[in-house]
Structure 1
Amino acid sequence: MSKLITVFGATGQQGGSVIRTILQDASLSQDFKIRGITRDISKPAAQALAQQGVEIKAADMSSKESLAEALKGSHSVFLVTTPDWGNAGSDAELVHGKNVADAAKETGVQHLIFSSLLNVTEASGGKLTHVPHFDHKAKVEQYIRSIGVPATFVLPGYFMANYTVSGILRKGDDGVYNLAYPVGRDAQFPLVDIASDMGKYVATALKSRSDVLGSQILAAADYYSPSHILAEFEEVTGKKTQFVQVDSDTYKSFIPGPMGEEMLENHLFIENPGYYNGKSLKESNDLLKKHGYQPTSWREFLEKSKASL
C-alpha cells in the first residue's frame, strides 16, 4: 500500500520541486501518494497539481488543529517555512515551523524532512545577528530534534535563480552585467538550482530514511566564487560582466529597510565563516549520486536560462 507524503509549499519552488521529483521517479511514485499544502487551493498552480493526482489541501500555519488535520495519515512530510520578509522582529516563521513539528508529533509522522539552514548568530560568534530567515529555520530544526520527531534536515544552498530572476546580476546601460557584493571575488557560494534540485535531495532522504535520520543534507552542486560565476556566465551567454565589491553601507542602500541589513549580513556570513560553516558538499552529493541523481551545475543552469537573459 502506498504511503502518504504531505508537502508544504506545494506550489512554491521547493515544494513544487519535491512533488515533481516524486511524480517522475518510478519507485517513489509507487511508494507514495502526495498531499500538497498551499494557502490558496483555487489558484491555477494548485489546480494543475490536482490534475496530476495530487491531493490539495489548505492549512493555517498558525493553527495546530488545522495542521494536525492537514497531516492526518501522513507517513512523511516535507516542510518549508516562509520568512516574514521585511517585518523586523517577527517570529512568525519560527512559530509556524514549531506548530508543524508539534502536529507531526501528534499525528505520528515517521519522517519529517525540513528545509533548514544554519544559525548565523551562533556560527558567527554573535557578530551577525540580523539574518532571521536563517536563524529561525535553525531554531525550528533544534525544536524538531528536541521533541523527538524522526527527521532529516535538507539545507538548500544559494539559489542560482537569484542571478537570473531576482536581479542580483544586473544589466547596465552599456550592456555589461554587473555583480555587486559586499564580499570579495573569491568568496565561496554553494549554488543550487532550487526548482530542479531540491526535490532530488528530498527524494534521496526518502530513499535512505534509516541512514539519514537526524542528519543534515547540504543541497548545493558546488562552491562557486563570484569570479567563477561570472566567467561561466560570459562563456555560456557571450555577454560581458563586471564584479564590483562595495562597502557595507553602499550595499545596504540597494535594499531599503530591515531587508538591507539582513541581506548584507547574509552575504558577509557567506564569506566568513561560510554558508555551511566550511563543510564539504561531497558526502551529500555522493548520497545523491548513489540514488541516481545528479545536481545541476551552474553552467547547466545557464544553458537552460540563457534565452531569458
Structure 2
Amino acid sequence: MSKLITVFGATGNQGGSVIKHLLADSTLSKTFKIRGITRDVSKPAAQALAKQGVEMRTADLSDKSSVTEALQGSDTVFLVTNYWESAKYDVEFGQGKNVADAAKELGVQHLIFSSLLHVGKLTNGRLSHVPHFEAKADIEEYIRESGVPASFYLPGYFMSNFVQSVQKGEDGTLSFAFPVSKDAKFPLADTVEDTGKFVKAIIKNRDATLGKQILGAENYYTPEQIRSGLEAATGKKTIYTQLSAEQYKGFLPPSVAEEFLENHLFIEEPGYFNGADLKESHEILEDKLTTWKDFITKSGSF
C-alpha cells in the first residue's frame, strides 16, 4: 500500500519542483501517493497536476483545523511557507506552527521544512530587519522542539532573481548592481528545477538527514563570477557595480528597502549559509544540479 506525501505550495516554485521530481522518480512514484496543497484547485496549474494523478486540495495555513484535515493520513510532508503573502512575521510563524502541531498530533513520520538561517542571531543583532529569514528559522526551531521527525531544506539564492536584477542597456550591454563587494559569495540555485532534486534525496535518505540542514545550492558564485558567466554565455558585455547602502535602498520601495539591503549584507558577512561547505548536502544527490551557465542558456532571458 502506498504511503501519502503531502506537498504544500504544490503549484509554486518549490512545491511544484518537489512534485515534478516525485512523479518522475521510478521508486518514489510507486512508494508515495501525492497530495498537493494549493490555494485554488481550479487554476490551470492545479488542474494539470490533478491530471497527473496528484490529489489536489485547498487548505488555510492560518487555520489549524484546516491544516489538520489536509494532513490526514500523511506519512511525509513537505512544507514551504510564504512570508510575502502577508509580509508579516507573526502570520508566517503561526502557519508553520500550525503545520508542526498538526504533524505531531497525526503522527507524521517525516516533515521536511523549507527553512532559512536566523540573520539577527548570527549577526548578534547587527542585521535585524530580515523577517522573511527569521520567521523560517524560528519555525525550524519550533519544529525541532516539537519532536516531529524532521529534516530542513535551505534554498539558496534564486538564480531567477537575476532575471529581474540584470538590466539591458540600449547598446546591448548587461548590468547588475548590489550593495556587496565583487568577492561576496552567492549560493546560487535554480529553484524551479533543483528543489525537487534535493527533497527527493532527503526523502530517500530520511534517517541520515533527520535533524540536519540540507543546503540547496549548486555552488557559491561571486558577483565577478556571475558577471563573467553572463558575459561568456550571452556574448554581451556585462558590468557589475557595487552600490552603497543608500544607493541600493534608493532603487527599492521603502517597505522592503531595509530588508533587501540587510539580506544582501548578510551574504557578504557572515554568509548566506554562514560560510558552510555545500559538499555534505551534495553527497546525497542522485541528479546533476543546474549550473549558472546552464540557467543562463536555458532561461533565454538575457
* Bin for the TM-score computed over the shorter chain: over 0.9
**How big is each residue's C-alpha offset from its partner over 1:146-172, in whole Å with a ceiling of 9 and x where there is no partner?**
0100000000000001112xx111112
Structure 2 unaligned residues grouped into runs of 5+: none
RMSD: 1.1
Q: How far did 1:90 drift?
A: 4.2
Structure 1 Cα separation of the partners of residues 128 and 277 of structure 2:
25
Following TM superposition, by how much is the alpha carbon of 1:180 offset from its aligned partner in structure 2, in angstroms?
Answer: 0.6
Q: How far has the Cα of 1:175 moved from its partner?
A: 2.1
Q: CA deviation at 1:176?
A: 1.5
Distance 1:209 1:268, change over 3 A: same
Task: Work out the CA distance in 1 between the residues paired with 2:190 and 2:239.
Answer: 23
Task: State the SS of the aligned residue for 2:298.
Answer: helix
1:75 — aligned with what? 75
Q: Corresponding residue for 2:182?
A: 185
State the partner residue of 1:43. Answer: 43
Aligned equivalent of 2:7: 7
Does the alignment pair 1:304 with 2:295?
no
Q: How big is the shift at 1:100? A: 0.8
- Tell me how far 1:84 sits from its aligned partner: 3.2
Q: Look up the match of 1:53.
A: 53
Identity %: 58
Work out the CA distance in 2 between the residues paired with 1:175 and 1:244.
17
Q: Which residue of 2 aligns with 1:116?
A: 115
CA contact (8 A) 1:94 1:139 kept: yes
- Report what 2:281 is aligned to: 284
Question: Which residue does 1:199 correspond to in 2?
Answer: 196
Structure 1 residue 21 corresponds to structure 2 residue 21: yes
- C-alpha distance in 1, partners of 2:84/2:281? 29
Aligned residues: 302
The 8 Å contact of residues 85 and 259 in structure 1, kept in 2 or not, is answered as no
- After superposition, the Cα gap between the structure-2 partners of 1:86 and 1:28, relative to the gap in structure 1 and judged at 3 Å, is closer
Q: Where in structure 1 are there 5+ consecutive unaligned residues?
A: none
Name the CA distance, whole Å, in 2 between partners of 1:173 and 1:96: 45
Compute the displacement of 1:174 (Å).
3.1
Determine the C-alpha separation between the residues in 1 that align with 2:56 and 2:31.
18
Aligned mates of 2:102, 2:247 — CA distance in 1: 44
Q: Measure the CA separation in 1 of the matches of 2:155 and 2:118.
A: 14
One-letter amino acid of the structure 2 residue matched with residue 218 of structure 1: L
**Cα gap change, 1:202 to 1:304, in 2 (>3 Å):** same
Partner residue of 1:255? 252
- The letter for the 1-side match of 2:251 is F
Q: 1:217 to 1:267 in 2, by over 3 A?
A: same
**Preserved CA contact (<8 Å) 1:180 1:245:** yes
Contact 2:21 / 2:196 at 8 angstroms: preserved in 1?
Answer: yes
Partner Cα distance (2:127, 2:118) in 1: 10
| Pairing of 1:158-177 with structure 2 (within 5 A) | 158-164=157-163, 167-177=164-174
Q: Distance in 1 between matches of 2:260 and 2:245?
A: 10
Q: Could you give the per-residue CA deviations for residues 78-132 of structure 1, whole angstroms, max 9, x where no partner exists?
A: 0000013684x54211111111111111111100000000000011111000111
